[in-house]
Chains A and B, each alone.
Chain A
Amino acid sequence: MQEPAITQPTNPQLIILTQNLRKEFDGTPVVQDVNLAVPQGKIFGFIGPSGCGKTTTVRLLVGTYQPTSGEVTVLGRQPRQFRRHEREKIGYMPQQFVLYPDLTVRQNLNFAASLYGLGWRERRTHLREMLDLVELTEHRDKIAQNISGGMQRRLSLASTLMHKPSLLFLDEPTAGIDPVLRRKFWDYFRVLQKRGQTLFITTQYVGEAAYCDYVGVMSRGRLLTVDSPEGLRRKAMGGDVILMQLTGTLPMEKWFSLQELPFITGQVYPVGDNTWRMVVADASVALPELVAWTQSAHLEVVSMREDQPSFDDVFLQLMQNEEENSAQ
C-alpha cells in the first residue's frame, strides 16, 4: 500500500505547521498566506475579530476543510489524510454547543468518549476526572438543555477532553461567557498544558493573549504576526514603554534633548499630569540611564516605571500598523 505523502516538520517539536495556507469559497479567499509553526506543549492563541478566518483556519487544521492551496501538517500528516489513531490524538471543540440538549451531562460525555472508541472502564474513570475538572460533578444527571450557558461551554470542553487528546483545537471556548468563568477556563488550559497537551485556541478577547505562550493575530483572512505576548507588545509599540512623572513641567529644550537620548527609540509625548510617555529599546537598560539623565538635568521625578499597555491597545496598534502598511 502506498504511504500517503507526509510533510514532516524539520523540527519534531512543531506539532502544527502551515505554509502559505489558503482557502477560498466560491473564488473568494477567506484565509490566505497563513504560515504557522506551533511547538508541542504550548498554548497558541489565535486572535482576531469576528469573521477574520479563525474558524476556517481551525477547520483546515482538523481536516474538515481542504486547503485551496498551500501546505498544512498536523501531527506530521496532512489533516485530510489523517488516520484513526491520529484523529484519536486530536480534540476539537467547535464554536457552537453541538452536544445533545435532550441528554444528560453524563450521557453527553459518554457519547463523546465513545466516538473515540473509549471502553466502558476508561470512560468511567475519565468521566469522573473531567466532571471534577470542569466542576460539573453535581450536575452530571441534569439534562443539558436545563443547565446554564456557562455550564454548557464547560460540558463542551469536558467532552473534548474525554479521550485525553494530545492536541486540542478550541474554537472560541470563552465566547459569550462571563469574565470569572473565562478566567477559570484559562486556568483549565494551564492545567492541560502542564499535562503536556498542546492547545490551539481561538478567541475574540484580545486580553486573553496574555495567557498564551504564542499569539497569532489574524485580520481579514491574513495572519499579521505570530509572537509571544511580550514580543507582540513590543512589536506593536516599537519597544518597551516607560512612564515618567515629574513634579513640575518639562521645559521645551529638555524635551528635545530627551528625545535625542540614544536609548529612546520612539516619540516622547505628554500624557497629562506632568507625565511623559516614551518608547525605549529595552526598559531594563533604559530606566537607570533615564534616572541619571533626570539628575543631570535637575528634574525632580515623582515616579518612573515601565508601562504594560493592554492587549487591546496592542491589538489596535497592530491593526493600525497593518492599515498603514497596506496604504503604503
Chain B
Amino acid sequence: MLSNILRAVTRIWAFISKEGAEILHQPRLLLTLIIGPFLILLLFGLGYRDEPRVLRTLFVVPEGSPVEGWIEDYMSQFEDRLEFVGITHDPQEADRRLRAQDVDLVVVTPDDPEAEINNNEQAVFTLYHYEIDPYEEAYVRVIGRAYTDELNEEVLTLVAEQGKVEAESLQEDTALALGSVSSMRQAIEQGDIAAANSSREELQNSLAFLRLATGSSLAFLGAIEQTTGAPVDSEAQLILTQLTDLQTKIDTLNALDLNATDFSDELALAEEIETELTEVDTLLTNFRSVDSEVLVSPFRSEVVSVTTVILQPIHFFVPAVISLLLQHTAVTIAALSLVRERRSGAMELFRASPVSSFETLTGKYISHFFLTVLLATILTLLIVYLLKVPLLGDWWEYGLVIAALIFTSLGIGFNLSLSARTDSQAVQSSMVFLLTSIFFTGFFLALYRFWWPVRLISWLLPATYSTTLLQNVMLRGQEMALPLILALTGIGALLFLLAWYRLKRMMASE
C-alpha cells in the first residue's frame, strides 16, 4: 500500500520536475513571463493620464451680437476644459473645420439672448461635435451642460449683485418710512392729530415708493429662489412678503378723525408697522451681507471617500490587470501542455506506462501552479514595492485569491488543451478566452452595463471573481467575500474533474 502511494507520488513528481526543468532551460521564456506583465503594468502606470480632455472650441456668433463682447473673457473660466480657438460669423466655415477635425466643438450662440429672455424664452447655445466614441460624446454633453450651468450662474450672480445695490437704496427709503411712522405715533401720543395725519400721509407715500422701488432684481431673485427650491424664508422672499404685509397694514390706516378721542387702534397699528419696518430693515441688511454666489446657488455637494488612502486612477485597474495577466498566463501554459505531449507522441508513451491520467494531470497542475504562483509573487512584489500600489488587506487573503485564480485558470487551459489538435489551436483558444475576459470581466466596462444573461458569462470567467475580490482586498482593505472565493474554487474543482475525465478517455485504448 505504502509502496503504491510512494510510486504514485514519484510519478506525479516526474511531471513536476520535468515541467520545472523545461522552464528552467528556457530562461528567456521565464524572463518574458515575469518581466513582461510587469512592464505592461509599468507602461500603463506611466502612460495613463487622469486629465480631462481639452476641447478646441470655435464660437459662431451672429454679426453685431452683444454676445461677442464677453465670450473670450468668459471662456477663461473654462480654460482647463475648453480651448478658445476663435469666433466666426460663418456657420459653414465652422462646419467645415469641425468635419476636418480642426476643432472639437462648435458653439453657436443665440442671436439676441436678452430679447429671447425678455420674450420669456430660453436663449439656446447649440453645441456641435463630430465624436463617434460614445464616451467622448457623453463628455461633450457634460461639458455643454456645465458650460450653460456656469453661464446661468454667472447671470444670476450679476442679478444678485444688482439686487444688493437696489437693497441699499431700499434701506434708505425704509429709514424714511420708519421716521414717518415714528413721528405719527409720537404725534398721536401727544394728541396732535393734525401732525399725526401729516406723518401718516408721508408714511403711505414712502411705502408706496418703497414698494415701487423693491426692484426687478429682488423680485427676479425671489422668483428664482422659488423655482430652485430655496427655503420659503429666504432673504429675498421674506423681504417681498414683509413689504406686501406692510402695504396691507398701511392701507388700513385711515385718516385720523380730529374729533375722536380714542386712537388706541391706530397707535397699535403704527407700532406694528414700525416693528415690521425695522424687520424689513434688518432683512435688507442681512440680504446685502449674504454672498451673491450663496444666493444664486444655495446648495453644493461635497464628495468624500471613506477609504483610508488616496487612490490613483491606475490603482483601480491594477487588480483587473493582475487577474487578466495571471489568468492568461495560466490558461496558455496549460493549453499548450497536453497538446504538446499529444503532438510529440509522449502521450503514447504514457498510455503504455503505468502512469494514470490522474497522476499526469495532478503533476502538470502542480508544476504549472507553482510556476504561475512564482510569477504572481514576483509581479506582486514589484507592483506593491516599486509601483507603490496599496495592498490594504490581508496578504494571506490576497494569496488565497491568487491561488484560486490560478487553479481555476489552469483548469480552463487544460480543457482547452484537450480540445486542441495543434499548438496554434491551443494558443488561438487562449487568445479568444483572453478577449472574452477583457470584454466581460469588468476590466473597462462595469458588469451592470451588461444584459443579465451576458453577465452570467462574466461570472463563468475566473478573472471576474478575482478582480472583484482583489479590488476589495487590495484597495478597500476588506476581508475577501467568502461566496466569491468559494464559487471561484468550485469552478476550478469542476474544471479539474472535467479535465481528468477527458484525459482518462484520451489515455484509454483506441
Give chain A's interface residues, CB within 8 Å of chain B: 59, 62-66, 79-80, 84-85, 87-88, 90, 92, 94, 96, 98-100, 102-104, 107, 110-112, 114-119, 143, 169
Contacts and interface: CB of A to CB of B under 8 A. Distances in A.
B59 to A, nearest CB: 67
Interface string B9-33: 0110110011001100110000000
B344 interface: yes
Contact of A64 (B14, B26, B509): B509
B349 interface: yes
A111 B509 contact: no
Nearest to B6: A119
B509 A65 contact: yes
A32 B351 CA distance: 23
A143 B25 contact: yes
B69 interface: no
A117 B352 contact: no
Contact of A94 (B11, B349, B354, B355): B349
3 nearest A-B pairs in the assembled complex, by CB-CB distance: A117-B7, A114-B14, A98-B345
B354 to A, nearest CB: 4
Contacts of A102: 21-22, 25-26
Given A114-B14, A115-B14, A98 B344 contact: yes
B14 A111 contact: yes
B354 A114 contact: no
A99 B8 CA distance: 21
Contacts of B351: 63-64
Contacts of A98: 344-346, 348-349
Among B8, B13, B351, chain A packs the most CB atoms within 10 A around the CB of: B351
A92 B25 CA distance: 27
A21 to B, nearest CB: 14
A18 to B, nearest CB: 15
B201 to A, nearest CB: 114
Contacts of A117: 6-8, 10-11, 354
Which of under 10, 10 to 19, 20 to 34, or 35 or more describes the interface residues of B?
20 to 34
Interface string B214-233: 00000000000000000000
Contacts of A115: 11, 14, 349-350, 353-355
A117 to B, nearest CB: 3
B510 interface: yes
Contact of B352 (A90, A118, A143): A90
Given A63-B509, A66-B510, A103-B22, A114 B349 contact: no
A91 B510 CA distance: 19
A100 B355 CA distance: 17
Contacts of A90: 352
A118 to B, nearest CB: 7
Interface in B337-387: 344-346, 348-355
A7 B376 CA distance: 54
Given A103-B25, A117-B6, A117-B8, A88 B352 contact: no
Nearest to A120: B10
A157 to B, nearest CB: 13
A98 B17 CA distance: 17
Contacts of A96: 344-345
Contacts of A143: 25
Contacts of B26: 102
A111 B17 contact: yes
Nearest to B510: A65
Nearest to A83: B354
A313 B450 CA distance: 77
22 contacts: A59-B348, A64-B348, A64-B352, A65-B510, A66-B509, A84-B354, A87-B354, A92-B353, A94-B348, A98-B345, A100-B346, A102-B25, A102-B26, A103-B18, A104-B21, A107-B18, A107-B21, A110-B14, A115-B349, A117-B8, A117-B11, A143-B25
Given A65-B509, A84-B7, 10 more contacts: A59-B348, A84-B4, A87-B352, A92-B349, A102-B21, A103-B22, A104-B21, A110-B14, A114-B17, A115-B354
A116 B355 CA distance: 7
A63 B14 CA distance: 22
Among A84, A92, A115, chain B packs the most CB atoms within 10 A around the CB of: A115
Contacts of A94: 345, 348-349
Contacts of B17: 107, 110-111, 114
Nearest to A99: B346
A219 B13 CA distance: 43
Contacts of B11: 114-117
Contact of B18 (A92, A111, A116, A118): A111
Interface string B188-227: 0000000000000000000000000000000000000000
Contacts of A118: 10
B114 to A, nearest CB: 82
B371 to A, nearest CB: 14
A79 B348 CA distance: 14
Given A65-B510, A117-B11, A92 B21 contact: no
Interface string B472-510: 000000000000000000000000000000000000011
Nearest to B8: A117
Given A87-B354, A88-B354, A102-B26, A114 B509 contact: no
B10 A114 contact: yes
A162 B107 CA distance: 84
Contacts of B352: 62-64, 87, 90, 92, 169
A100 B18 contact: yes
A85 B346 CA distance: 21
A96 B354 CA distance: 20
A94 B509 CA distance: 16
A79 B22 CA distance: 32
Nearest to A86: B354
Among A62, A102, A112, A117, chain B packs the most CB atoms within 10 A around the CB of: A117
A32 B344 CA distance: 28
A239 to B, nearest CB: 41
A201 to B, nearest CB: 16
Contacts of B349: 92, 94, 98, 112, 115
Contacts of B354: 84-85, 87-88, 115-117
A143 B21 CA distance: 11
Contacts of B18: 100, 103, 107, 111
Contacts of A112: 349
B479 to A, nearest CB: 42
A59 B347 CA distance: 13
Contacts of B25: 102-103, 143
B30 to A, nearest CB: 12
A87 B355 CA distance: 9
Contacts of A64: 348, 351-352, 509-510
Contacts of A111: 14, 17-18
Interface in B146-165: none
Contacts of B6: 117, 119
Nearest to B3: A117
Contacts of B13: 114
